[in-house]
Amino acid sequence: MAELYCRGCGALIQHEDKTLPGYIQEGLTEGEENKQLLCQRCFRLKHYSEVITKTLSNVEYLSVINKISKENALIVKIVDIFDFTGSFVPAIKRLTGNEDVLLVGNKMDLLPKNVKSERILNWLKQMLAHEGFTVLDSILISAKYGQNMDRLMELILKHKGKRNVYIVGCTNVGKSKIVNQILRRYLGYPTDVITVSTNPGTTIGLIGFPLLDGTMIYDTPGVINKHQYTHYLTRPSYKITVPKKEIKPLAFQLNEGQTLFFGGLARLDVINGETGDKVNVITYFANTLNIHRTKTQRADELYETKLYSLLTPPFNEEEDVPKWVFHEFKIRDNLKYDIVFSGLGFVTIRAPFYLRAHAPFVVGIYARPAII
């Protein structure tokens, strides 16, 4: 019998182990060789939003990526423009062994509508130059709403020649949504073919589809960046924390000795505004995440007594919150910066300032030139 693959996650169909990707009850695949099958995991995810957890080990992931490294292909690298720092992963080029990269900044729909695309694209190019990362082209899109998909397809066709195309990136940057958009718009597929979920790590193996010229376009498993907060959240906390619609920025004027809590997930202390004036802080987080202001001298006590009640998420003690650490930022010029909590959000502040940012030790916290 020919090998069958799940059309939702790309896993090889198997009947032996319910806990592994690709499981379908024995007998259900008889006579189905020419049909597009969904494994039990993808069926439950699609119809009931029920998640059967399975992530790729490093060995499994590298075996998938190894296929790309042996091929002269066009790499379409997807980043989450809302979390560029956390989703960039420069090692993608090293893993694939391929120099031809088209960079796609997805989720433009999350940024405020008054932000000009040209500004974001210029910022993106500045960040690429800082990383020493060269690309064939770069583009901003919203896979959710199909914004700029025609231009993306033009760039893919322009740069790929007779080569296959691989869509790569971190978990939950929207790779599968982009492939589904391409399949519907340009190849005539009627509905979503690849499983799309709000849970990271949906795609298990390579999922390939033929393009009109006989080459293939592949969705790949997401790289897990362990510095992103999303990998340490339970599903209820994840739903509150990850933005799904346009961010509504909040403005705070903070004095020296004041603190902002972002739920019970992170905090920002103003140690010194350097000029003695109030520090203007603009926050960019999911609209569903509660932001609470307090005095820094009360912050530790507030966290101890109000975590799971005033400061949520997390919602209960069963959510294992890793130990917090802090990072200090002293910047003395007069430029605007973002302080980024990877996978959670960011704040924008004009220097000079002296700040202390707290989060679990596994979460990346960075300063960068302001995106907005």
Find the CATH number of the domain harbouring 136.
3.40.50.300
Domain-embedded: residue 46: no
pLDDT, tens digit (0-9, with 9 covering 90-100), for 94-152: 666 667 899 999 999 999 999 999 999 999 999 988 888 889 999 999 999 999 999 99
- The residue to which tokens 């979503």 are assigned: 192
Domain-embedded: residue 165: yes
List Cα–Cα distances, 15 to 53, 136, 146, in angstroms: 18, 43, 37
Whether residue 162 is found in the same domain as residue 203: yes
Asked if the model's pLDDT at residue 53 lies above 70, the reply is no
Among residues 80, 65, 76, 219, the alpha carbon closest in space to that of 158 is found at: 76
The count of domains in the chain is 2
Whether residue 92 is found in the same domain as residue 216: yes
- Residue 115 tokens, joined: 């932000």
Distance of CA 103 to the CA centre of its chain: 14
Beta-bridged to residue 6, according to DSSP, are 37
Domain residues for the domain of 96 are 55-225
Position 318 scores a pLDDT of 82
- Residue 29 tokens, joined: 């695949």
Position 47 scores a pLDDT of 62
Asked if the model's pLDDT at residue 43 lies above 80, the reply is no
Give 58's pLDDT tier (boundaries 50, 70, 90).
low
Find which of 144-158, 175-189, 190-204, 311-325 is predicted with most confidence, using mean pLDDT: 144-158
Domain-embedded: residue 117: yes
Domain-embedded: residue 320: yes
Cα radius of gyration (the chain): 22
CB 15 within 8 A of CB 23: yes
- Residue 322 tokens, joined: 């890793």
Domain boundary among 225, 256, 279: 225
Domain-embedded: residue 29: no
Domain-embedded: residue 22: no
CA dihedral 68, 71, 72, 73 (to 10 degrees): -40
Whether residue 275 is found in the same domain as residue 199: no
Whether residue 257 is found in the same domain as residue 167: no
CB 254 within 8 A of CB 293: yes
Q: Could you tell me which residue, 143 or 21, shows the higher pLDDT?
A: 143
- Give me the count of residues in the chain: 372
Whether residue 82 is found in the same domain as residue 164: yes
Helices (H) and strands (E) counted in the chain, each on its own, are 9, 16
Domain boundary among 195, 225, 255: 225
Whether residue 190 is found in the same domain as residue 317: no
Position 277 scores a pLDDT of 73
Q: What is the mean pLDDT of residues 187-200?
A: 60
Burial class (CB in 10 A: 0-12, 13-18, 19+), 70: exposed
AA letter at 23: Y
Whether residue 275 is found in the same domain as residue 205: no
**Average pLDDT along the chain:** 85
Burial class (CB in 10 A: 0-12, 13-18, 19+), 100: middle
Whether residue 124 is found in the same domain as residue 213: yes
Domain-embedded: residue 6: no
Whether residue 172 is found in the same domain as residue 243: no
Reported pTM: 0.82
Position 51 scores a pLDDT of 42
Domain boundary among 166, 200, 225: 225
Domain-embedded: residue 27: no
Whether residue 284 is found in the same domain as residue 177: no
Whether residue 193 is found in the same domain as residue 92: yes
Whether residue 180 is found in the same domain as residue 262: no
User: Among residues of the chain, what percentage have pLDDT more than 70?
Assistant: 82
Asked if the model's pLDDT at residue 370 lies above 80, the reply is yes
